[in-house]
């Protein structure tokens, strides 16, 4: 009886094996026998996500804060409608006790106004790129090219999930500069501003939901806290915060004095005087402005009221679920290919 020992057989002994060639062989087997047969299923799921994101179906969703229309708390009641990557309708009756003496204000989208949902547009663009790359992978023969493309697809899937979970900073308060208000309503300044207040509107995707936030903002008029540097776009409070971060050896009183603010002890008389003298402040007053002041829409404001509303959008929830499953699968493939 005789036996032939094959070079790549386990029983051939480690001295007769080529580790490098084994790795290449295993990787090619993984690509051709495991991953490529799954690509049609992955492609189907990406296409389904795109169908939901680009659907012509209009989702009309009521929004309500649940508050009383006549009490001392803010209230919002209305409707928002989404079609694909844009809002096609938006109406809301908004009431803040401090704004226009507590009267309700109707915010109604102008028929000709366009409001793109940037996160959905970016997500759609990402998934179209993913789809093209997946179709190219079906005919890709080179293993290194295949692995590189899988890595890029994984990055795009992760970015897409993040778009559904968290809005970019430029779309969020206070960096959005009241973008939604300006895009949705004609003559928005007369609608959302009074002598002492401004209403802000933020519409973003957050945790797979379309979120609508109204804020009542009090305009800061006390100098130097209301000042904004025309070159940097930063307010006086932004400047003080930056200096506190950059030089931790100096306390707040020291930095304020360096910037021309005279600090007084918090007595009753000094509290009264500081309200009239623009360059006077007690330390608690200065701390209040530093903690509360926000640079927004070319002015300094303090948020005094907010209503946060969320809508349950079935297509966004389903898309998020599919993307998480896809990311998990592609991540496993990529990890095994990189071993």
**pLDDT given at position 2:** 52
The region of weakest confidence among 65-74, 75-84, 94-103, 217-226 is 65-74
pLDDT over 90 at 3, yes or no: no
pLDDT over 80 at 161, yes or no: yes
pLDDT over 80 at 125, yes or no: yes
pLDDT tens for residues 266-293?
A: 654 444 544 544 567 788 899 999 999 9
pLDDT over 60 at 73, yes or no: yes
Residue spans of the domains in the chain: they are 18-216+304-339, 229-297
Residue 45: pLDDT band by 50, 70, 90 thresholds? very high
**pLDDT given at position 225:** 94
**pLDDT given at position 17:** 57
- Measured over the CA atoms of residue 144, residue 150, residue 151 and residue 156, the dihedral's sign is positive
> What is the average pLDDT score of the chain?
90
**pLDDT given at position 14:** 55
Give the mean model confidence (pLDDT) for residues 102-116: 93
Give the mean model confidence (pLDDT) for residues 217-237: 94
HEC profile of the chain: CCCCCCCCCHHHCHHHCCHHHHHHHHHHHHHHHHHHHHHHHHHHHHHHHHHHHCCCCEEEEEEECCCCCCCCCCEEEEEEEEECCEEEEEEEEEECCCCHHHCCEEEECCCCCCEECHHHHHHHHHHHHHHHHHHHHCCCCCHHHHHHHHHHHHHHHHHHHHHHHCCCHHHCCCCCCCHHHHHHCCCHHHHHECCCEEEEEEEEEECCEEEEEEEEEEECCCCCCCCECCCCCCEHHHHHHHHHHHCCCCCHHHHHHHCCCEEECCCHHHHHHHHHCCCEEEHHHHHHHHHHEEEECCEEEEEEEEEEEEECCHHHHHHHHHHHHHHHHHHHHHHHHHC
Global confidence as pTM: 0.87
The region of weakest confidence among 61-75, 86-100, 175-189, 276-290 is 276-290
Give the mean model confidence (pLDDT) for residues 89-116: 94
**pLDDT given at position 5:** 47
Give the mean model confidence (pLDDT) for residues 214-219: 98
Percent of the chain with pLDDT over 90: 77
Give the mean model confidence (pLDDT) for residues 227-231: 94
- List, in order, residues 6 or more apart from 228 with CB less than 8 Å away: 234, 235, 236, 295, 298, 299, 300
The region of weakest confidence among 7-11, 89-93, 227-231 is 7-11
Give the mean model confidence (pLDDT) for residues 42-70: 91
**pLDDT given at position 288:** 94
pLDDT over 90 at 131, yes or no: yes
**pLDDT given at position 110:** 92
**pLDDT given at position 268:** 45
The region of weakest confidence among 135-149, 252-266, 311-325 is 252-266
**pLDDT given at position 262:** 83
């Amino acid at each position: 009886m005789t036996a032939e020992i094959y070079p790549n057989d386990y029983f051939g002994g480690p001295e007769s094996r080529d580790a490098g060639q084994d790795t290449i062989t295993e990787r090619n087997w993984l690509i051709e026998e495991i991953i490529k047969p799954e690509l049609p299923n992955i492609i189907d799921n990406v296409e389904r996500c795109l169908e939901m994101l680009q659907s012509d179906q209009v989702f009309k969703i009521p929004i309500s804060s649940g508050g009383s229309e006549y009490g001392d708390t803010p209230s919002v009641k209305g409707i928002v409608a989404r079609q694909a990557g844009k809002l096609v309708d938006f109406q809301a009756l908004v009431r803040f006790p401090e704004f226009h003496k507590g009267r309700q204000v109707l915010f109604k989208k102008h028929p000709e106004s366009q409001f793109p949902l940037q996160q959905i547009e970016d997500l759609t663009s990402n998934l179209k790129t993913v789809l093209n790359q997946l179709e190219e992978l079906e005919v890709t023969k080179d293993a290194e090219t295949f692995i590189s493309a899988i890595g890029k697809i994984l990055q795009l899937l992760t970015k897409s999930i993040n778009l559904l979970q968290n809005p970019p900073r430029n779309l969020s308060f206070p960096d959005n500069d009241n973008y939604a208000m300006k895009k949705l309503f004609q003559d928005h300044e007369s609608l959302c501003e009074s002598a002492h207040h401004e209403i802000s509107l933020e519409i973003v995707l957050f945790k797979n939901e379309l979120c609508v936030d109204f804020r009542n903002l009090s305009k800061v008029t006390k100098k130097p806290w209301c000042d904004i540097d025309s070159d940097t776009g930063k307010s006086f409070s932004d400047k003080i915060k930056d200096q506190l971060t950059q030089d931790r050896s100096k306390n707040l009183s020291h930095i304020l004095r360096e910037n021309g603010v005279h600090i007084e002890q918090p007595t009753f008389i000094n509290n009264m005087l500081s309200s009239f003298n623009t360059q006077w402040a007690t330390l608690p007053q200065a701390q209040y402005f530093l903690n509360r002041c926000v640079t927004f829409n070319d002015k300094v404001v303090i948020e005094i009221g907010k209503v946060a509303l969320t809508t349950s959008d079935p297509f966004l929830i389903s898309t998020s679920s599919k993307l998480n499953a896809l990311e998990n699968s592609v991540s496993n493939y990529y990890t095994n290919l990189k071993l």
